[in-house]
Amino acid sequence: MLPATFNALVPMLCATAGALLIMLAEAWRRKGERGLMSLLAFIGLGASGASLVFLWSRNQASFGVVTADNFGIFISLLVVVVALFTVAFSTQVLERDGVPEGEYYAVLLFSVVGMIMMAMANDLLVLFIGLEVMSIGVYVLTGIRRDSLAGVEGAFKYFLLGAFAGAFFLYGIAFTFGVAGSTRLDRIASFLAAQSMSQNPMILLAMGLLIVGFAFKVAAVPFHMWTPDAYEGAPAVVTGFMSTAVKAAAFAGFVRVFLAAFEPFKADWAPVLMVLAMVTMIGGTVVGVAQSHLKRMLAYSSITHGGYLLVGLVAANQLGKAAILFYLAAYAITNLAAFGAIALLGGKEGARDGLHDYVGLWHSRPWVAGLLTVALLSLGGLPPTAGFIGKWYVFTAAVSAGYYGLAIVGVLSSVISVFFYMRVVVMMYMTDKEAGAAPVPVGGAGLAALALAVVVIFYLGILPRRVLDIAAASIGTIF
């Protein structure tokens, strides 16, 4: 049995064990045998999630560089839930698209290990290791369909730009160590608290480099160039995973570094992030309106939602901090449902992710059309969905903190972005049946996962208080 101080490693060890078992099972699997890999993935992720629940509010689960505080556990549980939904959506998709099952699930679980490491990291070097473990896995998943030129191109662009951004992040760590003499976040916070009135340019340079590294991972403008190609080229189920889980893990690191370690210098980094948030919301909305490809449209939607999350980070008041976690949960389940529906509707002949592919969907697949409509309306921020409540909390936090201009830009971009989603709804409902695409069989597991996601969307939109209170209590554990 591990000592109590090593309990923080258990969730990562469970996911790692699941990935290793999948690799062994793949090596010994008989030809044509299917289903075992997804079962092992469920077991590995379920064990990881159970260990996270066990660690909740157990403050002894820390040994310095990795800490299982409630903030890290909240993000890690969110990542595990996203991964479980992804596995449920994948059971139908992998065989149809010819994706190697064992490789896919093993890499998925290794990516989850990196995300949990990022969420629980109390050291910049551990955070960087988690970032690279997660990133390498996502690069592979993006290009896992080797016969897809778009997938290979998207993965290659993602890899090159990711390596470039990783160098910025590593230089930021180096400058931080040069200033504070440590890479431990708690020690950096103590040192910078004593230097809060100084004008050390090294500190500002370190913060700037770290912002570039994080901005790339959260797809903030102008560091978003990889996003449309990677989202379009990857299988839809992979796009759903990386648009939600990657963003959650990246914001976990963002929050730990800037709302804890660099909090004494908030007056210096907040204006930079405010401009970044504005440009991200405006850029994602304006370019997204012009898209006619659903996955590219949702890619720019994801960029815009990253801007909304940055609003909460800039506000950094009590409501803003809680709103970051609540919005991550609301966005994750909503975007996952949207991409899950796209994945389930794909066929062997193609992904069916153009807007014209959804013409008359209500007539051929009414259940999927209805569930997809809820997800799209939530992304648009219409009540009574999770997206509406998430945006309400974020913009209220900005107004409370005095960032009126930021809140106005956020509200206007949110209103304009509704056009993204209503176009798809109009295509599904207001077109003759004859114009629609041929019906596609939808598996029971995928449809059940999609229905459950929609239930959660309504729950967070109608009864958000419980989750918001948990989020507020969770993020309070890192300060």
What is the tens place of the pLDDT at every residue in 18-38? 999 999 988 887 765 666 888
Mean pLDDT, residues 224-237:
87
Task: Say what the pLDDT of residue 435 is.
Answer: 45
181 DSSP assignment: S
Q: What percent of the chain has pLDDT over 70?
A: 91
The closest of 461, 295, 299 to 387, measured between CA atoms, is: 461
Hey, which of 62-76, 189-203, 243-257 has the most confident mean pLDDT? 243-257
**Which residues touch 267 (CB under 8 Å, ≥6 apart)?**
none
**Which residues touch 109 (CB under 8 Å, ≥6 apart)?**
15, 16, 18, 19, 22, 41, 44, 45, 83
Task: Say what the pLDDT of residue 36 is.
Answer: 81
What is the tens place of the pLDDT at every residue in 410-453? 999 999 988 888 888 888 887 665 444 455 566 677 788 889 99
Q: Report the chain's C-alpha Rg in angstroms.
A: 21
Pick the range with the lowest mean pLDDT from 132-141, 146-155, 242-251, 342-351. Answer: 342-351
Task: Say what the pLDDT of residue 459 is.
Answer: 94
Q: Which amino acid appears at position 356 of this protein?
A: H
In terms of pLDDT, which residue wins out, 274 or 369? Answer: 274
Q: Flag whether pLDDT at 66 surpasses 90.
A: no
Contact call for residues 169 and 210 (beta carbons, < 8 A)? yes
Q: Flag whether pLDDT at 98 surpasses 90.
A: no
Task: Say what the pLDDT of residue 292 is.
Answer: 78
Task: Say what the pLDDT of residue 279 is.
Answer: 94
Contact call for residues 182 and 191 (beta carbons, < 8 A)? yes
The closest of 412, 418, 343 to 378, measured between CA atoms, is: 418
Q: Flag whether pLDDT at 479 surpasses 80.
A: no
Q: Flag whether pLDDT at 14 surpasses 90.
A: yes
pLDDT band at 247 (very low <50, low <70, confident <90, very high): very high
